[in-house]
Amino acid sequence: MASIINSGYYIAGFVLLLGVLVFIHEFGHFIIAKAFKVRVETFSIGMGKKLFTFKRGETEYAISLFPLGGYVKLTGQDPREEVPPELEARSFRNKPLYARAAVVLAGPLFNAALAILVFTYLYVVGIPSVIPVMERVLSGSPAEQAGFQRGDEVLRVKDSSSSNWTRVFELSDLERIVGDAVGRELDFEVKSAGSTETKTIKYTPTLGSERDSTIGVMKQRGVIKGVEKTAIGPVVVVLPDSFASSRLLPTPFWISQIAYLSNGQEKIIKTENFHDVESAWNEAVTQQGDKGEIKITGTVIEMETEESQKKETAETKKIPEEQTYTLAWLNEQERPASKLKAAGFLSSELVLTGIMTGSPAERFGLKKGDILSSFDNEEIQSFASFRENLQVSASTGRDLKLGWYRDGVYQETSMKPEIVMAVDPMTEAKNKQFQIGAYFLALPAQPSVRIVKADGLFQALGLGYDRSYRLTVSMLESFYHLAKGNISPKTLGGPILILRISGESLKQGSAAFLKMMAFISLNLFLLNLFPIPVLDGGHLVMYMIEAVRRRPLPIKFIEMWSTAGFVLLMMLMSFVMFNDIRRIIFKS
């Protein structure tokens, strides 16, 4: 039954998505053609055999078999077409060059306009957005020294020398502002977690490496050193010979909630990330006396390698059932420490889940289950900071010290990381980087999301335009990174991928589906403007050549141009279909 419902979502999402996008695109061509008094013979949603038709005036309207596209048939659009003399004045080829260009350009522009209107609507009713919050601030980092704290939400930013504040609505806004401000002092107006008061922090972004949250590539840009925008998941590793291990809590364990008795009633605290686990544990211990108990609910995590995790998808992953474990004490001597680490819990992010054969990690004695502690004589505070420091320190060529715990015993060795060709899990591109040859259980928490709502229609329109513009720029960047090899062509998808993401977004609700529709609409806007024969951009190129020549192009050239475009388009479609099939085979 569930599979039937899921199939319904996929089919409904796919048909609704393509139906709207194709209709808007072709309607753009149609309405501008009508405005220039071009005779429109057919308006079709879909390609191939016509399934349903009706005629109004001189135009036949149709729904055709294949939903991947549509067309508007204009009289005289084919230069070889014989047009009756009485219709020649209304033929497409008889219209001025600017009119023909406007008709062709209208389709992509209507797709761009749709995206702006969809985002405007979402900002009017409220759009789920990732909050610009400091999910983690490393101890002793420049960010902490400047005054940033975990949980600080950035409200506004401005140049210290200016009086003009820029409101920060979501995390991508903060990334863009900070990324463009290397070496410039900024004022950050922030609100601390759980507080209504604001404070202003001055900080000068430094050049650093950070992953672009929109296109997924690593970039050199301005960063707030010591701030991590993604919290680590609520996964704990139980240390041996500790309070937690003596109560038989399995390890590693994903904690979804912690409960304890408060004034005779059970208090349940949901845990979204590791910090939530720390604060919930502290509260549960301090609010109980020399006799008490804490109920921990969650799931056991299988110690998978990075490779096996990449092969799993949301559809194939088997979600284990949640279990509840009671950790009780009967007297003061048994009472656990209120600090999570002292009670025998550690974050899982620095736990080794596997060792690569022949790697530096294997040669220097590291084993599965070891917990990294220090690197280059400094405490490792997070997996992200360890990975970044590894690249910087290893590039010097000197030996580096690595410290770890095994069965509660601290060990240390000197080692030299190796340069390997690694596959980026986000972009699937290969690049050289230093590695010690180990897998980690660094599971990120879900980002903090809230509903962002504009103050009025005009602000919503401005935000809708800005969101569409920035997404378009990011898409152009992604094409650039594709050309450079920073993003693998394997990430490109076709109809099957569209089917999947349209169904998944529809299951999440109307807001997610509309965001996805706007995103795909902007993709169509850009792709149709590419100077590829057959596409709208290819026609515009021909019109530019015609404008330079000051006379129509030879029919033979137009035929060759169109044939080349068709072949190129079919090759591209075959490639993305191959990628779709590859995803199904290797992630099943």
Taking the C-alpha atoms of residue 319 and residue 314, their distance in angstroms, rounded to an integer, is: 9
Phi, psi of 189 (to 5 degrees): -90, 115
In this predicted structure, what is the pLDDT of residue 316?
A: 38
CB atoms within 10 A of CB 461: 18
Taking the C-alpha atoms of residue 188 and residue 165, their distance in angstroms, rounded to an integer, is: 9
Residue (of 24, 103, 559, 57) closest to 93 by Cα position: 103
CB atoms within 10 A of CB 499: 19
Q: Would the pLDDT of 588 be above 50?
A: no
Judged on CB neighbours under 10 Å (0-12, 13-18, 19+), 49 is exposed
| Angle subtended by helix axes 536-549 and 97-125, to nearest 10 | 140
238-444 and 136-228 share a CATH fold: yes
Q: How far is the first Cα of the chain from the last one, in angstroms, to the nearest whole number?
A: 20
**Taking all residues of the chain, what is their mean pLDDT, rounded to a whole number?**
86
Q: What is the pLDDT of residues 66-90, one digit of tens each?
A: 877 888 999 888 777 788 888 888 9
**In the chain, where are the structural domains located?**
96-126+455-588, 136-228, 238-444
In this predicted structure, what is the pLDDT of residue 431?
A: 79
Which pTM was predicted? Answer: 0.84
The CATH number for 238-444, chosen from 2.30.42.10, 3.30.2320.50, 3.30.9.10, 1.10.760.10, is 2.30.42.10
| Angle subtended by helix axes 495-508 and 510-529, to nearest 10 | 150
Considering the candidates 26, 228, 278, 504, report the single residue annotated as catalytic. Answer: 26
Q: What is the pLDDT of residues 422-433, one digit of tens each?
A: 777 777 777 778
In this predicted structure, what is the pLDDT of residue 529?
A: 92
pLDDT-derived band of residue 313, with 50, 70 and 90 as boundaries? very low
Retrieve residue 279's tokens.
Answer: 């604060």
Torsional sign, CA 131, 137, 142, 144: positive
The second-level CATH assignment, the architecture, of 136-228 is: Roll (2.30)
| pLDDT average, residue stretch 518-541 | 89
Q: Would the pLDDT of 185 be above 90?
A: yes
Q: What is the pLDDT of residues 466-490, one digit of tens each?
A: 999 999 999 999 888 888 888 888 8
CA atoms within 13 Å, Cβ hemisphere of 349: 21
Residue (of 374, 244, 253) closest to 302 by Cα position: 253
Taking the C-alpha atoms of residue 530 and residue 88, their distance in angstroms, rounded to an integer, is: 30
In this predicted structure, what is the pLDDT of residue 376?
A: 85
Beta strands in 287-370 (DSSP E): 292-300, 323-329, 345-347, 352-355
In this predicted structure, what is the pLDDT of residue 87?
A: 85
Phi, psi of 409 (to 5 degrees): -105, 130
Retrieve residue 298's tokens.
Answer: 């969650």
pLDDT-derived band of residue 114, with 50, 70 and 90 as boundaries? very high
In this predicted structure, what is the pLDDT of residue 306?
A: 45
In this predicted structure, what is the pLDDT of residue 304?
A: 52
Q: What is the pLDDT of residues 425-462, one digit of tens each?
A: 777 777 778 888 888 888 888 888 888 899 999 999 99
| pLDDT average, residue stretch 535-553 | 85
Q: Please state the three-class secondary structure of 403-440 as a single string.
A: EEEECCEEEEEEECCEEEEEECCCCCCEEEEEECCEEE
- Between 393 and 133, the higher pLDDT residue: 133
Q: Would the pLDDT of 249 be above 70?
A: yes
In this predicted structure, what is the pLDDT of residue 6?
A: 58
Give percent of the chain with pLDDT exceeding 70: 95
In this predicted structure, what is the pLDDT of residue 317?
A: 43
pLDDT-derived band of residue 126, with 50, 70 and 90 as boundaries? very high
Is there a contact between 405 and 314 (Cβ–Cβ < 8 Å)?
no
Taking the C-alpha atoms of residue 449 and residue 451, their distance in angstroms, rounded to an integer, is: 7
- Burial letters for 16-27: b for 16+ Cβ neighbours within 10 Å, e otherwise? ebbebbbbbbbb
Give percent of the chain with pLDDT exceeding 90: 37
Is 26 marked active-site? yes
